[in-house]
């Protein structure tokens, strides 16, 4: 066997061996127990604090806001889509109320012009022409955006 072929074969074997060793070292012990997943991830996720409370929890205290929202175009948008659940599900929102930023960047996540989005669904705005120097919630009621503030 020529030396070049021998060296190439030896290099290939060394590369594969190093790859297998690194893979064995980096793969967690619980990997593959429940398929192509790390089984310990289930326990890790159980230890996390639950932040999502659900819209039913919001309605118990904020029925008036829910009624206003249900009569508007945002009726299909869930509360925690805008009021990010930043507090534990067991903490009362009166202790740490979830705030809506109402900034241009925040509202533009849904309302900026996007050619991939249906025009008849979410209203799309050209924020360069629509916005002045204010945040959206300075002019619009967040739960009924068609109602402008005075």
pLDDT at 5: 93
CA distance 47 to 45: 5
* Predicted local confidence at residue 45, as pLDDT: 77
Q: What is the pTM of this model?
A: 0.50
Decide if 59 contacts 67 (C-beta within 8 A).
no
d(CA 25, CA 42): 21
Residue 51 pLDDT class (50, 70, 90 cuts): low
Give yes or no for a contact between 89 and 51, defined as CB atoms under 8 angstroms apart.
Answer: yes
Chain center to CA of 32: 27
Of residues 20 and 60, which shows the higher confidence score?
20
- Rounded Cα–Cα distance for residues 74 and 76 (Å): 6
Buried/exposed 132-143: b ≥16 CB within 10 Å, e otherwise: eeebbbeebebb
Instruction: Report the distance separating Cα 132 and Cα 127, nearest Å.
Output: 9
């Amino acid at each position: 066997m020529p030396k070049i072929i021998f060296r190439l074969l030896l290099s290939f074997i060394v590369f594969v061996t190093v790859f297998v060793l690194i893979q064995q070292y980096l793969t967690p012990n619980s990997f593959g127990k429940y398929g192509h997943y790390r089984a310990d991830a289930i326990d890790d996720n159980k230890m996390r604090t639950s932040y999502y409370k659900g819209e039913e929890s919001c309605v118990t205290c904020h029925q008036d806001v829910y009624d206003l929202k249900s009569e508007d175009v945002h009726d299909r948008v869930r509360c925690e889509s805008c009021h990010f659940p930043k507090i534990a599900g067991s903490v009362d929102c009166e202790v740490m109320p979830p705030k809506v930023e109402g900034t241009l960047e925040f509202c533009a996540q849904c309302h900026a012009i996007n050619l991939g989005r249906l025009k008849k669904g979410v209203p799309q705005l050209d924020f360069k022409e629509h916005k002045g120097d204010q945040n959206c919630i300075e002019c619009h009621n967040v739960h009924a955006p068609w109602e402008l503030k005075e």
